[in-house]
Chains A and B, each alone.
Chain A
Amino acid sequence: MGMNTQGRPTRMAENIATGGYADTVSGSRGLEQAEPLIFERGNLEHCGVDLPEPKNSQTRLGGLDRQGQIGLPGLAEPETMRHYVRLSRKNYAIDLGLYPLGSCTMKHNPRLNEKIARLPGFADIHPMQPASTVQGAYALMGELAHWLMTLTNMPAVALSPKAGAHGEFCGMMAIRAKLDADGQTNRRRVLVPESAHGTNPATAVQCGFTVDEIPADATGRVDMEAFKAKLGDDVAGIMLTNPNTCGLFERDIREIADLIHEAGGYFYCDGANFNAIVGRVRPGDLGVDAMHINLHKTFSTPHGGGGPGSGPTVLSDALAPFAPVPYVAQTEKGSWHLVEHESEAEGEPFGRMAAFHGQMGMFTRALTYMMSHGSDGLKQVADDAVLNANYIQARLKHVMTQAFDGYCMHEALFDDRFLKDTGVSTLDFAKAMIDEGYHPMTMYFPLVVHGAMLIEPTETESKGGLDRFTEVLEALALAAKSGEKDRFLAAPVHAPTKRLDETRAARQPVLRWTPSSDDLEAAE
């Protein structure tokens, strides 16, 4: 079996919270309110708004009227608002503190982005409005496409994919359409390195390919001999993440591109880590055929519960004719329109990724970020992101164990050798960070590293903030090594909810609230 993780059965902490504090009458403490589910807060027989029954109304539902209660909790507007504000105060967010999730690029979302995105000409429009009334929005999409193509040196971009994995799907569908158009229907094997993002193999399978895994070498990069041995006339392409999930630049990327092209395949590059190279490296120069760009990572639009993702996908000359509809185009006279249907397109679109043309609000924010930084500012983004990650690595490598020698790119990767024989696991270490007020880093990923801890600070953290963070991690590492095991096994003890029973949650998930018989009787 493929295996890589170190485990210790997780178990429920004795004092697991049940949604409130036991030492007060209300379940709240201080001004921190206990918050039940909205269905428990409201009740099914009430309606939040009180409207008079309409007179002389007749339905036109042809006998399909609802027979029973719809089962929504009846809450007035202030109660509803308070419920969600209370929940939001329990949430941890990039606006509250460092969010060092490796591979996620959780950077500050500049408020200028929000200001521009709220302009009525961008915010209060509908995708089905006549083109003549939304010329500014189409022009913005055209400008964003120009920036993305320039930064990547690629001739085409599909803006409609709505997230990174959706962008992967777009790129791999374009590769498949190109292969089919060339009669190469035997090419169905996709090479995926161990250090790729987890969504890569899933995307390949979803597009009807089979996955052939390439092992990593001792330096955490693609094993070139293994890669060469896997090339053949049934290979559709390679899906490579660069910089990879070990936080390392794939030094052989040009040779990988040449070899996959010589073998008749295409090169999909996962662009989730573009933040490390934006303004510095143009993927088109590396031989990439398709790459998605996470606007919600590199270009600072909110994510992780803060907003929808957006994964525009750039395409090479070979793949551009197969780009999906719809896309924006400009006439010679300068007016913009949407190319909606495959029959209107110049090439042979493989289809459509979404009902409309993508995440307009994210386009606005991302272009604002690009234009407020300028091309030199974007280059500094990459420089500072890499500098910050190396600063963390340098500050911590004497107490934690660096997974691979040498400098890293935008994320610092540690393994769990420094916890050996301490009785503390990566999971316990991460939980102890919560007690210290820090969101944990990505853990147990990438899979090629034992007990991995992947830290991505991004360029938006100051040196002072990084010093405070590394001082806490250093103190925790020393505490683990000096035998303070219990402190870690119990963690988090200061969080509103204590250590959760992850095993029981996975084995016996309760995914849907169901009313008790009392609730149902009351609703009748």
Chain B
Amino acid sequence: MTTRYTEDHEWITVEGDIATVGITAYAAGQLGDVVFVELPEVGKTLAKGDEFAVVESVKAASEVYAPVDGEITAINDSLEGEPATVNEDPSGAGWFVKIKLSDASQLDGLMDEAAYNAHTA
């Protein structure tokens, strides 16, 4: 299961036709301490590039964009009470949403880890 990345600092991993999406460790570090995460409703349909969540840190509120088209099948409720999880474990327990992919070929346009590391270097 490989992880892919967007230029806007979201990560996405896919199992079957369900993708898990979060923000990268680089992004979490740049934002500083996350104090609030606003997540969408389950069932919402997203197009690639749509804003689906807002992350608020002590410095700024930032939008999170959908890396692919699809429908939200699950959200990480625990972030509501424990926004710090985004800083502590951004690529694991700090995931944001699960999305049912509608077009798996969109993944091909995203970066792999090496390319993302080069992007943020």
Contacts and interface: CB of A to CB of B under 8 A. Distances in A.
B20 interface: no
B111 interface: no
Contact of A507 (B31, B35, B60, B62): B35
Interface string B12-45: 0000000000010001011111011000000000
B57 interface: yes
A447 interface: yes
Nearest to B55: A1
B9 A502 contact: no
Nearest to A9: B33
Nearest to A11: B33
B46 interface: no
Given A1-B63, A3-B27, A9-B32, A502 B55 contact: no
Interface in A1-30: 1-10
Given A1-B10, A1-B23, A7 B63 contact: no
Contact of A2 (B8, B35, B84): B8
B35 A1 contact: no
A502 B64 contact: no
A308 B56 CA distance: 28
Interface in A38-86: none
A5 B60 contact: yes
B87 interface: yes
Contacts of A1: 8-10, 23, 27, 55, 62-65
A6 B87 CA distance: 14
Contacts of B64: 1
Contacts of B60: 4-5, 444, 447
A5 B57 contact: yes
Contact of B31 (A5, A427, A502, A506): A5
Nearest to A1: B64
A198 to B, nearest CB: 9
B31 A7 contact: yes
Please indicate which of the listed interface residues A4, A6, A427, A507 has the most CB atoms of chain B within 10 Å of its own CB: A507
B30 A5 contact: yes
Contacts of B32: 5, 7-10, 503
Contacts of B83: 507
Contacts, number: 63
A503 B35 contact: yes
A10 B58 contact: yes
A3 B31 CA distance: 7
A7 B8 contact: no
Given A6-B30, A7-B31, A9-B33, A506 B58 contact: yes
A444 B83 CA distance: 21
A3 B9 contact: yes
Contacts of A7: 29-33, 57-59
**B10, B31, B87 — which one has the most chain A CB atoms within 10 A of its CB?**
B31
Contacts of B55: 1
B8 A3 contact: yes
Interface in B58-83: 58-60, 62-65, 83
A428 to B, nearest CB: 12
A381 B23 CA distance: 46
A5 B27 CA distance: 9
A193 to B, nearest CB: 16
Contacts of B56: 506
A453 B100 CA distance: 42
Contacts of A10: 32-33, 58
B35 A444 contact: no
B100 to A, nearest CB: 21
A506 B30 contact: no
Contacts of A506: 33, 35-36, 56, 58
Contact of B87 (A3, A9, A444): A9
Nearest to B87: A9
Interface in A474-516: 502-503, 506-507
A87 B36 CA distance: 31
Contacts of B84: 507
B22 to A, nearest CB: 10
The 8 tightest CB contacts between A and B, nearest first, are: A7-B32, A506-B35, A503-B33, A1-B64, A502-B58, A5-B59, A2-B63, A444-B59
25 contacts: A1-B9, A1-B10, A1-B23, A1-B55, A1-B62, A1-B64, A2-B63, A3-B30, A4-B62, A5-B30, A5-B32, A5-B60, A7-B29, A7-B31, A7-B59, A9-B32, A9-B33, A9-B87, A10-B58, A444-B60, A502-B58, A503-B58, A507-B35, A507-B36, A507-B83
Given A1-B10, A2-B8, A5-B32, 7 more contacts: A1-B55, A2-B63, A3-B30, A5-B59, A7-B59, A9-B32, A444-B60
